[in-house]
Amino acid sequence: MWIVGFNIVGYRRKGCRSNNLCVLRSMWKNFTLGVHTICDKEYIFTMATEGETFGKLLSGTEIAKEIRASLATEVAELSKQIPNYKPGLAIVQVGGREDSNVYIRMKIKAAQEIGIEAVHVKLPKSITETELLMKLEKLNNDPNVHGIIVQMPLDSDNPIDAHLITDAVKPEKDVDGLNTINEGKVAVGDLTGFLPCTPNGVMELIKRSGIKIAGSNAVVLGRSKIVGTPASELLKWHHATVTVCHSKTKNLDQEISRADILVVAVGVPQMVKGHWIKRGAVVIDCGINSIRDPSKKSGSRLVGDVAFEEAKEVASYITPVPGGVGPLTVAMLMKNTVLSAQRAAKKLLNTTWNLRLLPITPATPVPRDIVIARAQEPKNISQLANEIGLLPSEVHLYGDKKAKVNLSVLKRLELQKPGKFVVVAGITPTPLGEGKSTTTIGLVQALAAHKQKNAFACVRQPSQGPTFGIKGGAAGGGYSQVIPMDEFNLHLTGDIHAVTAANNLLAAQIDARIFHEATQNDKGLFDRLVPAKNGKRSFSKIQVRRLQRLGINKTSPEDLTEEEQRKFARLDIDPKSVTWQRVVDTNDRFLRKITIGQSPSEKGHTRETGFAMTVASEIMAILALAENLEDMKQRLGKIVVAVDKQGQPVCADDLGATGAMAILLKDAIQPTLMQSLEGTPVLVHCGPFANIAHGCSSVIADKVALKLVGPEGFVVTEAGFGSDIGMEKFFNIKCRSSGLVPNLVVLVASVRALKMHGNGHPVVPGIPLHDDYVHENIELVKKGLPNLQQHIQNCIKFGVPVVVAINKFSSDTAAELKVIKEAALSCGAASAVVCNHWAEGGLGAADLADSVIQQTCHPTGNMRFLYDLTIPLEEKINIIAQQMYGAGNVELSPHVQKMLQTYTEQGYHNLPICMAKTSNSLTGDPSIKGAPKGFTLKVNDVFISVGAGFVVTVVGEISRLPGLGVRPNIYDMDLDTETEEIEGLF
């Protein structure tokens, strides 16, 4: 830089305390050398440098244009990473002030240029504070909205606290930076939140001037919440020495004259004069004021808080008004919105959980399940939901330990790649169970807590029948269980009760319709089905669907002929053909067969029917197989309950019950979020029994979990009982319906079960085990191995690798476990692992977790179904019996043969088979153990579940409503009325 001479740049009267100068025009940027007195004036001498001028404009318009272009590139990149992904901005306006409209149009235009989806939420002046808060809460919970701004001032007829409103916007969506949390972050130097837009724009302008902020003297004139205060904080955290001035500041001109950086935001037109400003200072004028100007057509013009014409003679850089800070404010708003969308996208792309685990300290001997469960304090379920990536809007709390998960999560994560899918099945169990649910939970605890993998367990909801009967609940056990286990086993979120209500509503409608058709003539029946409302008759939506099925293409009741009215009104149900039963979630044997209609008011319309367990209802199967609400409703409408007197199926839609049942089930379709003993996530949903239904938890739970764990995570789901029934139906029914392909089968075996299949003494609940089961007996184990081998072969037939989990009991010996492991490997298992998760929690299943990780690292694609849907129903039955059970042939009763022919004629021959068979044997006889071959399997009954999408064939005596034993679990149960704790559950 060349020194070219001295300049006199200004003067003041001698002795004057003010720094006010009479500024002389100069074309040089000057560095002050000193003050010299000539006559009565002090002249300021500076050294001039060549080539630099004063009053260079900091154009916010140009900088904003650059920023918008850069943001557009970033948005395009986001769309490449996540197809169809767009940042979303909601601009909330109360009333219709024209100045606000101008600002909003400007923001929307900028958003459109960048690729932001901006929505103008225009609310009436009559809105109340409560209504506005509710609207903001909806926007807070909308995953497609990444930024929310509330246009100020609020033009409302009602009193609304503006501060309350800005604080109601979630900090992570507060792109204006006005929420107290974001303001507080700026105050303490945490710049990770959203910076307020105007101050952020101010900082951008200062940086563009090239001045070194660190060490500079900065003066901020104005201390408003929106501009002055946050601007001073930002300058401070950029290491400037900051002075905040305001209306009470003494010697304001002197304070300003010391500023290397001057930020003005007072709202007073042209308040700051040029001679107040230090030569070479950077001046940022945030003011925008309208003043009278007769020379303008409008009669006014916009000016800032700084006297621009004077100031530009001494400032090195200065912002114009308009065109300075204003465009940058909008640009920074857009920048914050894109940043918010990027953060949301990062969460979508980075699925690693921040799981806070619950420590366990296993005791020896292992205490009762309820004691272990009560000793562990579960996390608040909203905390767990946050840890696994669920949004608050996707979680509906039922207290603080369980919550429903909204199906909207599937839409939000529709582009997310799913995780690894593992199904847990078992060998033929003893009546005590071999720990399949315990293994499911233990494996997930091992994966999540000890192998640092995202891992979910998907399990069925237990029925109250076995809970109060003999078998007990299904929360797992020992140190591998779902907590709180009492809530898990009792009511939970009421899904089973909802199924009961929907099922029995349909049953009531069937009998009511039969009764009314028998007691009314055609016209009276039609008039009651289509009553006049306000003098006009019309069909409901479900009635229009019935007309369409009948081929009547009319929409007005008045247009139907008498014959069409009769066809519409009369279902002509054959009472003897009604297959739909009422259900109850209690083991009540005396309801298995009942006579209804015995009241005199039923006028002799009696018939025999019965009850089944709620979990045996077709509605439970529908809930477990449905993809979403619409799919569920469609399936409900297809339920066939009887045939008419011409032999044609009558469905729930004909009875007008579809919508009502869907209403009862609208919450039940959402899976319930709970947690394991170690704080890992569990989805509990549906509970169809495997011996009388398809025995799997829901498709929805699996799909939600698979999305949440991400491509490197694991979902472990369970199939009921042994591979012969639960797993077979998992593949042939559930996987066929859902399209999901499992990566691996984990087959649970135990020394106890194999000893039983080796012809050990009977295992009876409530009776102590024989010595065979508590002392080493290798020969007995070897005799039972064919059962294990059959189940391994069952798994392999589906083309999916199998890992055998040998669930260790305290009485098992190393030699017995070794025999099982060697046998499993010799007949095709990919690996066999001894597990002790019941006694040790997830750590006891760590080796199993390692094996699961290793076996699922290979791509899937080899899964195959056991049969093709196009083959005859009888052939499907034969394939299942021969390949899964080891049967030689199948014997169909005459009734079954007739019904299979009827179903074929009705077009149901392409449905899969759901075999209702005992879980206690590979045969149809529960007393036969081991793995017999060549036996005859007798099928003595069949019925159809059109809504669920399968044909149920019944083998042997399968009770759809178990009874209570001599000493059910209820004898041990009690309620402590002081503590409200449940006693004796397990």
Residue 619 and residue 499 in contact, taking contact as beta carbons nearer than 8 Å? yes
Cα–Cα distance for residue pair 54/226, rounded to 1 Å: 30
Q: Provide DSSP, 715-780.
A: EEEEEEEEIIIIIHHIIIIIIHHH----SEEEEEE-HHHHHHHTTPPPP-TTSPPPHHHHS--HHH
Cα–Cα distance for residue pair 807/826, rounded to 1 Å: 19
Structure tokens that stand for 698 in this block: 């829901």
Structure tokens that stand for 125 in this block: 């002046």
Cα–Cα distance for residue pair 219/232, rounded to 1 Å: 8
Question: Is the peptide bond preceding residue 322 cis, with omega within 30 degrees of 0?
Answer: yes
- What are the φ/ψ torsions at residue 208 (nearest 5 degrees)? -70, -20
Neighbours of 779 (CB within 10 A): 11
Query: In 3D, which of 490, 382, 416 has the Cα closest to residue 85?
Result: 416
Structure tokens that stand for 255 in this block: 């304070």
Cα–Cα distance for residue pair 717/744, rounded to 1 Å: 11
Residue 594 and residue 608 in contact, taking contact as beta carbons nearer than 8 Å? yes
Helix axes 60-81, 197-209, angle to 10 degrees: 110
CB neighbour list of residue 508: distance below 8 Å, 6 or more residues apart: none
Torsional class of 157: left (φ above 0), alpha (ψ -120 to 50), beta (otherwise):
alpha
Catalytic residue, chosen from 29, 135, 151, 675, is 151
User: DSSP secondary-structure letter at 761?
Assistant: P
β-pairing, 261-264 vs 681-684, is unpaired
Q: 3-state DSSP call for residue 234?
A: helix
Catalytic residue, chosen from 135, 173, 176, 654, is 176
What residues form DSSP beta bridges with 716? Answer: 422, 457
Catalytic residue, chosen from 107, 173, 734, 876, is 107
β-pairing, 936-945 vs 950-955, is antiparallel
Chain-centre distance for alpha carbon 973: 36
CA atoms within 13 A on the CB side of 324: 31
Cα–Cα distance for residue pair 220/883, rounded to 1 Å: 84
Q: Is 176 in the active site? A: yes
Q: 3-state DSSP call for residue 635?
A: helix
Q: 3-state DSSP call for residue 697?
A: coil
Annotated active-site positions, please?
107, 151, 176
